[in-house]
Structure 1
Amino acid sequence: MRVTSTSSAARTDRANEDFTGALPMAAVLIDGAGIPGAASVCRHGVAWYANRLGGDLLGLLSLARERSLPELLGEAIERVTDDHRDTCDVASPISPSAAVAVLRLSGGFVEYLVLGDSFLVLDRAGATPLVVSDPREVIISRPYASALTAAAEGSDEYHRVLRDLRANRNRPGGFWVAKDEPGAADEAITGSCPLSGLAGAALLSNGASRIVDRFGLVDWPGAMALLTSSGPAEVIRRVREAEVRHAVAADDATIAHCTDLGES
């Protein structure tokens, strides 16, 4: 499997809170998430959490090919949590968390996992792409959107609404992300499909998926065609242009494009 990736920080003065990495038979994308005030409960930060989780998950994928993707993600979450349990308030609602997307080649199949608001797209030859996403956070966030828009960003009211929204995280009936609870991995969207007939695959953070789901510059078949013809950097370049054009705050944007799918 060949993997071409690009990751672009939202701002030059802030660490990129996304992570992506690959093995001959797997690819991982982590989209770190922070809440205002997180530095008061975790001295490491969101970028540290995303990089540590991604690194641990890649290591487990390389060593334990017989274990399921939720099992491996759960162990990676537990390892990272143990890494800073003694120094940080890992259980705090505002401690670092992340969305996760994983692809693995195994036994003539592609296995996948998505937890949180990242995307995984399987490019099927002669058919529309299979888009794998976890819509729960988006759905639950909708009732809070108008209140967040009405409140001044950074105000007490803004933080109160945000806290109410985040109270739905990692609980039944809410939405699920990687944080301090290994059991959250069991709530991920998972599946598999035969390798035959797949032209490629892509893992995208929600900062990169904006090319389709926010700005509508292309549809998913168009996004996969653009990745194939021009690569991840061109997709992110177009997202950045659209952010400026629509006066939308930039987000970290990361893509891992997987081609030449075959087992190693």
Structure 2
Amino acid sequence: MYIQSATEPGDSGHPNEDFCATAQPASGHGGALVLLDGVTPPAGDDGCVHGVPWFTARLGGALLELSGSLTDVPLSECLARAITRTAASHRTTCELSHPRTPQATVVCARWSEHTVEYLVLCDTVLLIRHQDGTVRPVLDDRLEQVLAAARTAPPGGRAARVEGLRNAPGGFFTAAADPAVAHRAVTGTVPRAEVRALAALTDGASRWTEVFRLGDWTRLFGVLEEAGPHGLIARVRAAERADPAGTVHPRGKIHDDASALLALTGG
């Protein structure tokens, strides 16, 4: 795999809550990528003395290590173990039962000579470009389903309705302190020979398609291949600046942390 990545905070005065990393053995026959998007908590106490950037770095690093070293263990179990390890590292100092304890959305992919495995949890995105040129998005759309349903609720109750379905049956799931959510992730395997390239995006980068509607997933992949992850993020920033109040393209944050990763098989 030939890999390019970029990550950029939405606000230069605020730490980047994304995590983006890859690992490849010296043989070059396998590897793994991990992309996390930390969930920004509301203003106030979230029960943790460390903060979201610390959490995503710990969880992302543990997941990268485990997915790269435990090649016979499913990615969902690697994520469960990474959550357990991260929770143990701050259980004595932080209130992990707090509903907004630090948490993140997750994309992980792992490849060998023969297969490509993947895991997606919440609204991060994995794109698979097949050898015939088609692009297949791997999406966990449960958050979008919850948000769509919440739009029918009275304005004052929408936020509470969404929060009530976070990490709950019938709702959506993020990686926080409970390892059981790892087994709620969208997972799968495809033959390595069928894969030309992979792309992983946090929702700050995927808004090029999902919010600004500048092109479908195939066109987004083309931007990544032509301009690289930095070029995609630059285009997202330009779209954000063109709609500074979010009136044309409503969004929770005018500028969000954005991360993108492109991995080419060379085939």
Q: Same fold (TM over 0.5)?
A: yes
Residue 218 to residue 20, structure 1, CA distance change in 2 (3 Å): same
- Residues 75-101 of structure 1 deviation map (CA, whole Å, 9 limit, x = unaligned): 001111111111111111111110000
**How far apart in 1 are the matches of 2:128 and 2:46?**
40
CA distance in 1, matches of 2:216, 2:46: 41
The reply to whether residue 251 of structure 1 matches residue 256 of structure 2 is: yes
Cα separation, partners in 2 of 1:38 and 1:193, compared to 1, 3 Å:
farther
Matched, 1:216 2:221: no
Code of the residue aligned with 1:250 in structure 2: it is H
2:250 maps to none
Residues 158-177 of structure 1: pairs in structure 2 closer than 5 A: 161-177=158-174
For residues 103-160 of structure 1, the C-alpha deviation after alignment (integer angstroms, 9 at most, x for no partner) is 1003511100000110000011324211001000111012334779x5xxxxxx5xx7
Q: 1:45-94: CA deviations, max 9, x gaps? A: 11111111001111112321110000000000111111111111111111
**1:146/1:43 Cα in 2 relative to 1: closer, same or farther (>3 Å)?**
farther
Q: Distance in 2 between matches of 1:211 and 1:15?
A: 22
Match of 2:27 in 1: none
User: Distance in 2 between the 1:11 and 1:145 partners?
Assistant: 28
Once the two structures are aligned, what percentage of the paired residues are identical? 35
State the AA in 1 paired with 2:159: L
Q: Which amino acid aligns with 1:253?
A: A
Q: Return closer, same or farther for 1:38/1:63 CA change in 2, 3 Å cut-off.
A: farther
| Counterpart position of 2:118 | 112
Please give the secondary structure, in 1, of the residue aligned with 2:220: helix
Letter of the structure 2 residue corresponding to residue 45 of structure 1: G
In structure 2, the gaps of 5 or more residues are 25-30, 247-253
Identify which of 193, 196, 201 aligns with 1:199: 196
Q: Is the 8 A contact 2:202 2:259 kept in 1?
A: yes
Structure-2 separation of matches of 1:146 and 1:47: 33
Aligned residues: 253
TM, length-normalised to structure 2: 0.90
Specify the code of the residue in structure 1 equivalent to 2:184. Answer: E
Q: Please, which moves more after superposition, 64-73 or 139-148? A: 139-148
Q: For 2:9 and 2:153, how far apart are their aligned partners in 1?
A: 28
SS for the counterpart of 2:88 is helix
Q: In structure 2, do the counterparts of structure 1 residues 48 and 244 end up closer, same or farther at CA, with 3 Å as the change threshold?
A: same
Structure 2 residue aligned with 1:153: none
Note the aligned Cα RMSD (angstroms): 1.8
Partners in 1 of 2:110 and 2:171 — Cα distance?
A: 27
Query: Partner letter of residue 82 of structure 1?
Result: A
Give the aligned residue type for 1:178. Answer: A
Alignment match, 1:90: 96
Give the unaligned 5+ runs of structure 1.
Answer: 151-156
Tell me whether 1:41 sits opposite 2:38 in the alignment: no
Tell me, in whole angstroms, the C-alpha distance in 2 between the residues paired with 1:2 and 1:38: 42
- Which amino acid letter does the alignment assign opposite residue 194 of structure 1? P
Secondary structure of the corresponding residue to residue 254 of structure 1? strand
**Structural mapping, 1:120-139, within 5 Å:** 120-139=126-145
- Of 74-83 and 29-38, more deviation after overlay is shown by 29-38
TM-score with structure 1 setting the length? 0.91
SS of equivalent to 2:99: coil
